Structure 1
Amino acid sequence: MQIELLDTFLDLVETRSFHRTADRLNVTQSTVSARVQTLEAAVGARLFTRSRAGTDLTTEGQRFETHARMLRRDWNEAKRAVAPAGEATATMRLGIQNDLADAYIGDLLSDFRKMFSQMAFYIEPDYSAQMCADVVAGVQDFAVLFTPKPHPDLHFVSLADLPYRLISSDAETRAEINLKTYISGHFSPAFEQAHRAALPELVGAPLAVGQSSTIASLLLAMGGSGFVMAEKAAEMVATGRFKYIADVEPIDQPVFAAMHLRQRVSKPHRKLTRMLARRLMRVGPASTPATAAETPEPAEPQL
């Protein structure tokens, strides 16, 4: 199978530019054109129209797009199905938000292996947009992320809301926070929106970071103020070097499971989703440890 033909087609669907697709795939523009011509000859239809305004899908190209995504996904799944996995019966490839990996990867992997003792796991920390793309392409089977990226082939389930707490080495109240030593957490668009609404005076800090663990490291090294995950905040406050900002409420970060639409009813995916919801709800803002029988089915988000 000439999978590069499908990759080129799907990249062109996204970029609508032969030049940009050539740059992204690290090939020449003539190679992109040749691949499109080969694919059009194979399917017996013209897939793109080109003009000065850009590149657009034909009606036939629009019809082919869904099939192209399925073909690429099936090809990736087929390659992984025959790849060596030792004594394991199957391999589950998981993506996980960087912040969650830093805080929970050990506990989560322990839970995974107890639940699926005959399965091999490959886990890759990453950011939400890339994980969504990897699940669509069949590179990953399941992802735990902060920001769902709507796509017709993706299914999302809301798992929990994780609290972030504002701590400081040199302030005890909101009014005492020094913007120059404040580290702004850019964990997700949802978090940034909630932060902007709750603390508008702290928007535009000179230092912004996308990971809780990095903010914690910077605070330990330099001092200052910043939001970190609640469990890490408690550890840092316990050292005596930091205090909670008493008049600032925690900001909750929603967490979602992502999977391909075809796998939303798969038994392993449903079991993983329920297990993750139970684990993450234990550290949520208003949760207590729950048994499987007490935990409600995770909800699908309104996107």
Structure 2
Amino acid sequence: MDIAQIRTFIAVYETGSFLAAAERVNVTQSTVSIRIKNLENQIGSPLFERNKQGATPTAAGRQFLKHAVALSRIWDQARLEVGIGEEQETMVRLGAQVSLWDGFLLNLLPWMRAHAPEVAVRTETGNAPDLIRNLADNSLDIAVMYRPEQRPGFKVRQILDEELILVSSTEPGQDAFAQDYVYVNWGPEFQSDHALNFPDMEVPRVSLDVGTLGIGYLLNTPASGYFPKRTAAPLVRNGRLRIVEGAPHFTYPAYMVYGEALDETLVSLILAGLDDIRNALPELTGVSDSGKV
């Protein structure tokens, strides 16, 4: 089966048109027709109904879509893994929630380059359910997240205690909640703790679900919000933000999740790198890498 046929099928399915699919995959419309016809001959069933409005997937086409997407993803993975540089001996595929990259996991990339140049690293971001799903289908080797889903065949290691603090870009003496308080969604545990500590708070005018990226809002607009100490502390030190005195702090653990079959030498290497990075950041609370969950 030709991967070009698979990607052409996906393009037709998503655009609903042979002409639009041809533009997407950068071939002629007749080439698209030939590829789809060959694919239908191989599968033994028509995948699209052609009409003046375009191309409508048949029941077989709708069923085949999930397999086509999986085949395309596997092909991309294979190209990445086989195509690692001559200097690299292996590859680790590392995924994490976006807030854990900023100010923490990004530091692992230069550490790996310095301490393990023979290991190529491929990264991605995602929410916890997607990361767990990618671990399960073997498109990821390691995932880092706040709330891991316990599954058979996975190992879970706590790597970090994430402390959330209330910081503000408003003038000292101003009520952090009376101005422009920003509610950042740090997950269900934070939602519960926030509601318990601020039961009378009105619904904030601004709510964000972009993790540490939301701190940029405070830097451009006088406002307040909860953010990880590791991200906020450097901005507090240089005077761009201030810690709101008397406000409660919230602490949540972060974990590294990986399959039991992953090479323990590679696991130990990654944990050593995370230890070095954590110890180099005074804002982080230390967690022993021997701690298992």
- Give the TM interval when normalised to the shorter protein: 0.5 to 0.7
Paired-residue identity, %: 18
Is contact 1:273–1:298 with CA below 8 Å preserved after alignment?
no
Alpha-carbon contact 1:143-1:258 (below 8 Å) kept? yes
Task: Point out where structure 2 has 5 or more consecutive residues left out of the alignment.
Answer: 7-55
The amino acid of 1:142's aligned partner reads I
Shift of 1:218: 0.7
Q: Normalized against structure 2, the TM-score is what?
A: 0.66
Tell me by how many angstroms 1:159 deviates: 0.9
Does the residue aligned with 1:103 lie in a helix, a strand or coil?
A: coil
C-alpha contact 2:229 2:283 (8 A) present in aligned 1: no
Q: What does residue 299 of structure 1 align with?
A: 291
Structure 1 residues 246 and 262: alpha-carbon distance in aligned structure 2, compared to 1, 3 A threshold? same
**Unmatched 5+ residue regions in structure 1?**
5-25, 37-71, 289-294
Letter in 2 for 1:222: T
Contact 1:95 1:144 in 2 (8 A): yes
Aligned to 1:191: 190
Q: Give the distance between the partners of 2:194 and 2:206, measured in 1 at CA.
A: 15
Q: How does 1:1-303 map to 2 (within 5 A)?
A: 28-31=58-61, 79=78, 83-87=82-86, 88-170=88-170, 176-178=175-177, 181-202=180-201, 204-263=203-262, 266-280=264-278, 283=281, 287=285, 296-301=288-293
Rate the CA distance shift 1:192–1:35 in 2: closer, same or farther, 3 A. closer
Which structure would you say has the larger Rg? 2
1:169–1:242 CA contact under 8 A, matched in 2: yes
Deviation per residue, 1:211-266 (Å, 9 max, x gap): 34332111111111101221332233334453211101322231110112322x62
Specify whether residues 80 and 136 from structure 1 end up closer, same or farther in structure 2 by C-alpha distance, changes over 3 A only: farther
CA distance in 2, matches of 1:281, 1:76: 39
Aligned length: 237
Q: 2:161–2:251: 8 Å Cα contact kept in structure 1?
A: yes
1:114 to partner: Cα distance: 2.9
Question: Is the Cα–Cα contact under 8 Å of residues 179 and 202 in structure 1 kept in the other structure?
Answer: no
TM-score normalized by structure 1? 0.64
Kindly report the root-mean-square deviation, in angstroms, between the aligned alpha carbons of the 2 structures: 3.7
- Paired amino acid for 1:215: G
User: CA contact under 8 A between 1:154 and 1:259: conserved in structure 2?
Assistant: yes
What is the rounded CA distance, in whole Å, between the counterparts of 2:89 and 2:177 in structure 1?
A: 55
C-alpha offsets along residues 88-127 of structure 1, whole Å, 9 cap, x if unaligned? Answer: 1111111122112121344211222233221111112322
Tell me if structure 1 keeps the 8 A contact 2:160–2:285: no
Instruction: Determine if contact 1:135/1:142 at 8 Å carries over to the other structure.
Output: yes
Shift in alpha-carbon separation, 1:202–1:185, aligned structure 2, 3 A? farther
